[in-house]
Amino acid sequence: MVSWSESGSFFYDIAVVSTTRVLVADNENKTLRLVDSQNGGVVAKVSLTAKPFRLCAIRDRRAVVTFPTEKRIQFIRIAGDTLSLDRYVDLNGSVVGIAACDNHLVVSYEHPCRVKKITMEGKVTHELTNQTPGKELFKFPRFIAISESKHIFISDSGTNTITQLDETLQVVQTITSPLMKSVTGIVSVNTTQLLVSGWNSHNILVLDTTTGSLTTLLGQAEKIHNPGAVAWCPDSKTLYICPTHTLVKTITKFKCLS
């Protein structure tokens, strides 16, 4: 377990930088922290211009953070154990979720809901809009994961679904399960599996992307409660669970999956 204390923190997302470093977005304090995942110490932090919502690590020791209220994304440079602000890109919409795919980003929006694939400079290459009223694909498409096969997965706590898209943002399938209530964080762990957190079902699920089936990995026995954002370190086979929308200031990590 990795933990540290700071008054009034609201952790919204987490991303793995290396086997010993994770980034954590603190929405309330408008900061991004670089944390030692071995002892829980904060080794660096940078103040942001707005409240961060989601983040992802990208190539060249950088990360990118979404600012829904500012309708922009902010790039962050990571040099050793230092963080600094890089450029930002205006996206003309309330951007929430974000994930990296090769030289592109996949971003999701609310008000109205839609998904876009963009270049690192913000140019739109593909777009998926919501469906007609009453048949919406999304309500709160706030987390995005991209598998090794380049398929894109959007979790939605409003519809309790995971929507799978191909590289051109065409819908492949929509997945739901009684095991999954208020689905939040989602992360790819290998070619056929994703890990999914159920905020109201208090569990971490394994999604088989070939069959669409969901099974419970962690739950009440492991004291899982309101799990939010999740991150995966493939080298150490470690899962990080970040509480969201609570004043709990603890990042929990599990060694799991062979």
Confidence at 181, pLDDT banded by 50, 70, 90 = confident
CB-CB contact of 124 with 107 (8 Å): no
Q: Rounded to the nearest 5 degrees, what angle is found at the Cα of 143, between the Cα atoms of 138 and 147?
A: 105
Report the first-to-last Cα separation within the chain, whole angstroms. Answer: 20
For the chain, the average pLDDT equals: 90
Each residue of 107-128: b (16+ CB within 10 Å) or e?
A: bbbbeebbbbbbebebeeebeb
What's the predicted TM-score (pTM) here? 0.92
Per-residue confidence band for 162, with pLDDT thresholds at 50, 70 and 90 = very high
Largest CA distance in the chain: 49
Helix, strand, coil tally for the chain in percent (to 5): 0, 55, 45
